[in-house]
Amino acid sequence: MERNLNLFFCLIFLLTCSITAQSQVNKVEVIKNSYGNFELQRNGKPYYIKGAGAKDHFDLLVKSGANSIRIWSTNNKELLDSAHKHNLTVTLGLHVRPERSGMDYDDEYAVKGQIEYLKNEVLKYKDHPALLVWGIGNEVDLRYSNFKVWETIEILAKFIKEVDPNHPTMTVIAGIDPSKAYYIKKYCPSVDILGLNVYGSIENAGANLRKYNWNKPYIVSEWGVNGPFEAKKTSWKAKVEPPNGLKAEQRLRRYQELIEKDKELCLGSYCFLWGQKQESTATWHGMFLSNGNPTEAVDVMQYCWTGEWPQSRAPSIKNISLENTGWRKDHTLAPSTQATLKIEYLKYNNEEIIVEYVLFPEAFSEKIGGDIQKSPDPINLEIVEQSNNELIFKSPEEKGAYRIFAFVKNKKNQSSVANIPFLVE
């Protein structure tokens, strides 16, 4: 009986410990360290963000050396719980509707309704143990004309200061310019950190912040390769996407030379996107393919975060050409004619490489920012002959804009991809 009682009390003790650990609020703050640099501290210890915009693949994320994820809205509590289980922190987005989605910041009713809703969301999540930073709004400045949106950001940031002293506030903008720096400084004094979504513009972001007299810390809240909105277009307005191998080199350089080096103001970064999404193509920003296979961008991020390459590396496509013309140029084919696609890739330490080719109709979209785009379905590809570096195929009979993809992978499904848009006329 006494033994059973002891066992019972032990169980109660363990259960209590477990609940306490689950519900422990972690104190996060921005300080200036002894070098005069801004520093994020979590429970009194320096916390440099090695993060990714991510909703899944958390095991691989942790294995690759990351410590944090960024999510864009509060509509999925399971993500926070899952991140916490993986010992990842979360920059949690409060979805402030951008003007481009139809939100009218001169409409008191719409503004107040949104604020009250988001205040309620703050109360729901403020004590979550995974919470690191509040991300108030994402790219509300993109194609906006009513600067009143900054009043909403400030009301929310101020509210957070009142109810949650444990987590800093950040607002995330689509690149920096002097007017945005002015408005956020003037209208949002309760914002602690500036979040910068910067793709091509990451090259000058740090210098520009200083030129625009920004004097608080920043987080590179989205970064990666140059976006479709910055890409060269063909004469039929298809975006030209560089092969994965070149994109991987760009990622590595940007992390090492731009993000890591800014010790004074930068608190860390979230690479985009640890997952997959359609943005002009299905492979532009995603570090995974739509079937879940990781690309070489994952290997690059491991190297960035840990200084070591994974033992097994994805192959890397460095070049792709159609009819002996490189991927940067326009490509036009006649209907139902044979054409040759060539790829050049590095195998690294892989003995066997599997190559696949897939044809899609071009996915034109006028959407901007993170707005949702629909993926096209693949169409029949008539293969005449195929080797590991070359594909001879028959162009579609129907005139129109197409895009052909080459996928290479090793036995572990680590992949690289490249594509070429072409016009049949």
Partner 1 sequence: MREVSVYEPSKEISQIDKFPYKTLFTSSDESGLWGVKNNTCKQVYFDTVNSYAGKDHLHIKWNASKCNYIGIGLKWANYKVKNLSPIIPSAAIELRVRVDSGFLSKIPMFFILEDYAGKQCRANVNYLNLEGGKIDAEWRRIRIPLQAFNYEKRKVNMSNIKELRLEFQRKGDLHIDNIIIVPHEHNYKKTKNKFVKVLETYPIRIGAGKEYWWGINTKHSSSPKFGDSFKYESVVFDLEVAKKDQWNTFGFSPYKWMHTDVSSIYTTSAITFKIKANELPKLQTILFAYKGEKRRLQITLNENNFVHKENGIHEAVLPLKSLMGHNEFRWDSLKEIRFKVLEGSDFEIGDFQLIEFRGNPKKPNEWRGI
Residue 310 CB, nearest distance to partner 1 (Å)? 33
Non-local (6+) Cβ contacts of 364 within 8 A are 237, 238, 401
Residue 249 makes contact with partner 1 by CB under 8 A: no
Instruction: Give me the least distance between CB of 337 and partner 1, in Å please.
Output: 33
Whether the ω angle into residue 273 lies within 30 degrees of 0, i.e. cis, is yes
Q: The dihedral of CA 342, 347, 352, 356: what is its sign?
A: negative
Residue 364 sits in the site that holds partner 1 (CB under 8 A): no
Phi-psi region of 268 (alpha: psi -120 to 50; beta: other; left: phi over 0): left
List the one residue from 48, 212, 229, 357 that touches partner 1 (CB under 8 A): 212
Tell me which long-range contacts 100-108 makes (C-beta under 8 A, separation of at least 24): 100/142, 100/143, 100/144, 100/368, 100/369, 100/371, 101/371, 104/146, 105/146, 105/148, 105/149, 105/151, 105/152, 106/146, 106/148
Of the candidates 212, 144, 207, the one whose C-alpha atom is nearest the C-alpha of residue 174 is 144
- The DSSP call for residue 238 is P
Instruction: Give the one residue of 48, 182, 236, 348 binding partner 1; rule: CB under 8 A.
Output: 182
Please answer whether residues 119 and 159 qualify as being in contact, where contact means their C-beta atoms are separated by less than 8 angstroms.
yes
Q: Which long-range contacts (CB under 8 A, 24 or more apart) does 361-364 make?
A: 361/400, 361/401, 361/402, 361/403, 362/236, 362/238, 362/400, 362/401, 362/402, 362/403, 362/421, 363/278, 363/280, 363/281, 363/403, 364/237, 364/238, 364/401
Pick the closer one to partner 1 by CB: 148 or 394: 148
The count of residues interacting with partner 1 (CB under 8 A) is 29
Nearer to partner 1, 210 or 263 (CB): 210
CB 87 within 8 A of CB 288: no
Considering the complex, state which of residue 18 and residue 179 has its C-beta at the smaller distance from partner 1.
Answer: 179
Instruction: Return the closest-CA partner of residue 172 out of 156, 182, 184.
Output: 184
Q: Is 179 in the site for partner 1 (CB under 8 A)?
A: yes
In the complex, what is the shortest distance from the CB of residue 15 to partner 1, in angstroms, rounded to a whole number? 26
Q: How far is the CB of 147 from partner 1 (least distance, A)?
A: 5
Cβ proximity to partner 1: between 75 and 290 the closer is: 75
| Site for partner 1 contains 148 (CB under 8 A) | yes
Q: What is the distance between the alpha carbons of residues 162 and 180, in angstroms, rounded to a whole number? A: 25
> Least distance to partner 1 from the beta carbon of 164, Å?
18
C-beta closer to partner 1: residue 373 or 395: 373
Piece in contact with partner 1 (CB under 8 A), picked from 22-30, 177-185, 321-329, 342-350: 177-185
8 Å CB contact between 391 and 341: yes
Select the span of 8-16, 30-38, 98-106, 193-201 touching partner 1 (CB under 8 A).
Answer: 98-106
Nearer to partner 1, 113 or 335 (CB): 113
Using the rule CB under 8 A, is 76 a contact of partner 1? no
Least distance CB 111 / partner 1 (angstroms) = 9
Q: Quick check: 120 binds partner 1 (CB under 8 A)?
A: yes
When the beta carbons of 110 and 368 are compared against partner 1, the nearer one is 110
Question: Quick check: 35 binds partner 1 (CB under 8 A)?
Answer: no
Token pair 């049949």 is at which residue? 424
Candidates 26-34, 182-190, 290-298, 336-344: pick the segment binding partner 1 (CB under 8 A).
182-190
Among 64, 89, 91, 114, binds partner 1 (CB under 8 A): 114
Pick from 10, 16, 113, 291 the residue near partner 1 by CB under 8 A: 113
106 binds partner 1, rule: CB under 8 A: yes
Of the candidates 204, 213, 160, which has an alpha carbon nearest to the alpha carbon of residue 183? 213
The residues that touch partner 1, with contacts defined as CB under 8 A, are 75, 102, 104, 106-110, 112-114, 116-117, 120-121, 145-148, 178-179, 181-183, 186, 210-213
